[in-house]
């Protein structure tokens, strides 16, 4: 074991964590230095988040030690982590909507409740780091960017020496991301923070960090100084195999790989004269409390193409997905499949019209974990496996087994409860269910989020195949790399409407970035 070294404020040795059969972290070593932003780069499922969970006390390691300022320690819950000076800026599930900013900052503290003192503290922190937040605002009314600032205040309140950020820019516009990095750099310089920035975005890590550790499949594959690194080498290390289409596009997005590589990917179709399969016109809907969910959204998808919708989360992807799942009734606007209008909000109407949806959160509206694999697979085609209302067991088994084989789903048996399958396999079930009913339109929202590399490759491939077979595919993703790799046409969604469009050949990262941030003027909207 290394001797206590004042250069390192936190050392992780041999951290290991298993979830069931999956080895999320395998003997990981990491050293964080004072006054430095350390990027932890890796694809989804690489183990970086699990590692940080252990540092912050939300998970217990199966093996490994943590050394803080030269002394061994064990962290079992977030409060303890805070006592040791480790803070984390969370992404989800750490702010209570119904409470105000100062109440949220106060949550988890101890001692008598003193609103005045808390408000003062909040103001003090926001002024010190240039974060503009009103202590008495209700969190529900805040944008994603502002919520993150509240998270930051909550974290900084304990004057941490080590700050962990997990995929912090996922819900931010480019300008908000910029702002965040400035705050970090300032803090690092002035206070000597040790910052761990977990991300899967190459450009972000290249821009904002001093040092990078790359993880893949649960272990560390490379450590570099950011100045010595470039996109291509990072991409290779991250993926660990001949660069795939996806990584190529991701790298190309920042201009690192030749045009050739991109040109060899699928050609565009031109669809002159054909009507679109899916046509959404002026879709608008407001939530019960008045918040605008969709604001005159219009888009078309033609047969055989993949339309990618890029944008920061929270700009209408979820309402759009839910509307196409028959879960939301539009206030105005129309949805038409092959020219025939489909009524929104009516149970099953979208499915009957030929629209199959893979939602962002499969447990929310994609599949039913309590039911068996077979039941999840046949649920969209019940009519075909029943005779006069009675389910035919053999038909169901046969069909289920067929789908299991075709989609390479790893399940002990078709009668296993879905909950026992891994995330990647559950997503394959969702995909199989969607494709098996012969849809005309396939909507996939964040289809590969949180999955291991194998599943990502598989699902991306199936989406491409579906398009090749003539299905109109609508892909919504916050991951530009995914969109760049798969989409024939790219749309940008912002505040409930589509504000920009470009064909694959015109793909321009800067312009997309601007559109994502809402600046239509500079981006030259088509």
Partner 1 sequence: MTDLATEPAEIEAAPAEPSRWRTGLEWAVLYVLSIAGALVISAGLVAVTGNSWQKVFGALLDGAFLAEGRWGNTLTVAAPLLLVALGMVVGVKAGLFNIGQEGQLLMGAMAMAFVGTKLAGPGPVLLVLGLVMGVVAGGAYAGIAGVMKYRRNVPEVISTLLLVFIAYQIVGYAITTDWFLRDTDPDRPSRAVTSAIMPEGIRLPVIRMFGNEFPIGFVIAVILAFVVAFVLVRTVWGFRFRLLGSNPKVAQKMGIAANRTGGMALFISGGFAGLAGAIMLAGGSSGFRLTTGFATNIGWQGLLVALVAGSNALASIVVAILFAALRTGSGFLASTGVDRKIVDVVQALLVLALLIPPAVMFVRRRRKALAMADEEIDLANEEER
Partner 2 sequence: MGDLFSALADVFTSPTMYSSAVRLGGFLAFAAMGELVAEKAGTINISVEGSLLAGAFTGAVGYTIADGAGISGAGAVWFGLAAGVFGGVLVALIQANMSHRLTADQFVVGLTANVLVLGLAGYLSANMDLVTHRAEVIEIPLLVDIPLLGPAFFGQTWPTYLLYPLIPLTWWLLYKTRWGLELRAVGENPQAADVSGIDVNKRRRQAIYYMGILAGLGGAFLVVGQVGTYDTGAVGGRGFIAIAAVYFGGWRLGGVLLGVFVFGLADAFRLAVPVLGYQLNAQFLAALPYVITLVVMFFITKAYRQPMALSRPFIRGLR
Q: Under 8 Å CB-to-CB from 514, ≥6 apart: which residues?
A: 174, 522, 523
Interface with partner 2 in residues 36-75 (CB under 8 A):
58
Kindly state whether residue 128 participates in binding partner 1, applying the rule CB under 8 A.
no
Residue with Cβ nearer partner 2 (48 or 90): 90
Q: Does 397 bind partner 1 (CB under 8 A)?
A: no
φ, ψ of residue 11 to 5 degrees: the values are -125, 130
420 binds partner 2 (CB under 8 A): no
> 464: which 2 tokens?
């491409």
How many helices (H) does the chain have, and how many strands (E)? 20, 22
* Of 289, 347, 387, 390, the one binding partner 2 by CB under 8 A: 289
Two structure tokens written together for 457: 């490759």
Stretch 116-155: interaction string toward partner 2, x if CB under 8 A: --------------------------------------x-
Please choose which of partner 1, partner 2, none residue 225 contacts, taking the beta carbon within 5 to 8 angstroms, the exact cut-off set by kind.
none
> How far apart are CB 452 and partner 2 at their closest, in Å?
20
Among partner 1, partner 2, none, the one that 98 touches (CB under a kind-dependent 5 to 8 A) is: partner 2
**According to CB under 8 A, which one of 106, 151, 203, 375 is a site residue for partner 1?**
375
Residues 6+ apart with CB under 8 A from 323: 283, 285, 294, 330, 335, 344, 345
Bridge partners, 493 (sequence order): 498
> What is 338-370 written as a DSSP string?
TTEEE-TTSTTHHHHTTEEEE-S-HHHHT--TT
Check if the beta carbon of residue 214 is closer than 8 Å to that of residue 234.
Answer: yes
Count the residues of the shown chain that bind partner 2, applying the rule CB under 8 A.
26
Which partner from the list partner 1, partner 2, none does 289 bind, CB cut-off 5 to 8 Å by kind? partner 2
Does position 170 bind partner 1 by CB under 8 A?
yes
Q: What is the nearest approach in angstroms of partner 2 to the Cβ of residue 164?
A: 13
Check residue 138 and report its DSSP letter: B
The beta-strand segments (E) located in 20-82 are 22-33, 36-41, 63-68, 71-73
Taking the complex as a whole, how short is the minimal distance between the CB of residue 161 and partner 1, in angstroms?
A: 19
Cα(279)–Cα(495) distance, integer angstroms:
19
- Give the residue ranges of DSSP H helices in 136-173: 144-156
Task: Work out how close the CB of 288 gets to partner 2 at its nearest, in angstroms, rounded to a whole number.
Answer: 5
Query: 345 vs 105, 333, 351, 361, CA distance in Å?
Result: 38, 13, 12, 19
Q: According to CB under 8 A, which one of 6, 7, 20, 113 is a site residue for partner 2?
A: 113
Q: What angle do CA 164, 167, 170 make, to 5 degrees?
A: 145
Q: Coil, strand or helix: which one is 137? A: coil
- Choose between 98 and 387: whose C-beta lies nearer to partner 1: 387
Among residues 90, 119, 147, 211, the one that binds partner 2 under rule CB under 8 A: 90
Is residue 425 within 8 A of residue 452, CB to CB? The reply is no
Stretch binding partner 1 (CB under 8 A), from 224-232, 252-260, 370-378, 453-461? 370-378
* Smallest distance, partner 2 to C-beta of residue 326, A: 21
Rounded distance, CA 94 to CA 69, Å? 28
Site string (297-336) toward partner 1, x via CB under 8 A: ----------------x-----------xxx---------
369 binds partner 1 (CB under 8 A): yes
**Length reported for the chain:** 526
Sign of the torsion formed by the C-alpha atoms of 374, 380, 382 and 383:
negative
Stretch that binds partner 1, among 147-155, 259-267, 272-280, 414-422 (CB under 8 A): 414-422
Q: Are 311 and 480 in contact (CB under 8 A)?
A: no
> CB 404 → partner 1: shortest distance, Å?
17
Work out what residue 347 binds among partner 2, partner 1, none; the CB cut-off runs from 5 to 8 Å by kind: partner 1
Q: Which residues bind partner 1 (CB under 8 A)?
A: 1, 18-20, 22, 24, 44, 49, 52-53, 56, 58-65, 72, 74, 88, 90-94, 166-167, 170, 200, 313, 325-327, 346-352, 357, 364-371, 375, 379-380, 382-383, 386, 389-391, 393, 419, 421-423, 426, 449-450, 478-479
Q: Which residues lie near partner 2 (CB under 8 A)? A: 58, 77-79, 82, 90, 93-99, 103, 106-113, 154, 288-289, 363
């Amino acid at each position: 074991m290394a001797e206590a070294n004042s250069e390192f404020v936190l050392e992780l040795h041999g951290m290991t964590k298993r979830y069931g059969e999956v080895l999320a972290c395998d003997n990981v070593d990491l050293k964080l230095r004072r006054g430095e932003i350390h990027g932890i780069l890796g694809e989804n499922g690489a183990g970086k988040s699990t590692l940080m969970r252990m540092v912050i006390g939300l998970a217990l390691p199966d093996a490994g030690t943590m050394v803080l300022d030269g002394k061994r320690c064990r962290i079992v819950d977030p409060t303890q982590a805070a006592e040791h000076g480790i803070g984390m800026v969370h992404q989800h599930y750490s702010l209570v909507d119904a409470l105000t900013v100062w109440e949220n900052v106060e949550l988890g503290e101890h001692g008598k409740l003193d609103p005045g003192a808390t408000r003062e503290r909040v103001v003090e922190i926001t002024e010190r780091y240039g974060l503009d937040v009103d202590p008495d605002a209700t969190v529900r009314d805040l944008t994603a960017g502002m919520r993150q600032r509240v998270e930051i205040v909550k974290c900084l309140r304990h004057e941490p020496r080590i700050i962990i950020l997990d995929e912090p820019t996922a819900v931010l516009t480019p300008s908000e991301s910029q702002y965040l990095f400035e705050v970090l750099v300032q803090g690092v310089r002035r206070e000597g923070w040790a910052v761990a920035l977990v991300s899967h975005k190459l450009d972000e890590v290249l821009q904002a960090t001093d040092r990078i550790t790359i993880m893949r499949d649960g272990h560390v594959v490379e450590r570099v100084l950011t100045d010595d690194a470039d996109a291509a080498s990072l991409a290779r290390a991250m993926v660990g195999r001949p660069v795939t289409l996806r990584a190529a596009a991701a790298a190309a997005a920042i201009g690192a790989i030749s045009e050739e590589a991109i040109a060899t990917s699928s050609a565009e179709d031109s669809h002159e004269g054909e009507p679109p399969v899916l046509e959404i016109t002026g879709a608008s809907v407001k939530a019960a409390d008045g918040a605008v969910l969709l604001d005159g959204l219009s888009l078309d998808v033609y047969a055989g193409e993949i339309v990618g919708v890029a944008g920061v989360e929270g700009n209408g992807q979820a309402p759009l997905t839910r509307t196409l799942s028959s879960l939301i009734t539009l206030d105005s606007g129309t949805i038409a499949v092959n020219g025939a209008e489909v009524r929104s909000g009516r149970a099953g109407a979208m499915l009957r019209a030929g629209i199959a949806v893979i939602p962002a959160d499969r447990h929310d509206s994609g599949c039913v974990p309590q039911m068996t694999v077979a039941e999840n697979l046949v649920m969209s085609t019940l009519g075909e496996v029943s005779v006069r209302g009675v389910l035919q067991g053999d038909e169901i088994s046969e069909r289920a087994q067929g789908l299991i084989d075709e989609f390479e789903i790893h399940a002990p048996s078709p009668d296993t409860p879905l909950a026992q399958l891994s995330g990647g396999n559950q997503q394959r079930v969702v995909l199989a269910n969607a494709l098996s009913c012969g849809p005309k339109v396939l909507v996939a929202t964040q289809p590969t989020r949180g999955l291991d590399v194998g599943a990502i490759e598989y699902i991306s491939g199936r989406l491409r195949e579906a398009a090749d077979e003539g299905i109109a595919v609508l892909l919504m993703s916050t991951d530009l790399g995914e969109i760049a790799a798969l989409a024939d046409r790219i749309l940008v969604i912002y505040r409930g409407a589509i504000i920009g469009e470009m064909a694959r050949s015109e793909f321009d990262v800067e312009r997309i970035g601007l559109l994502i941030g809402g600046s239509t003027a500079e981006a030259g909207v088509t």
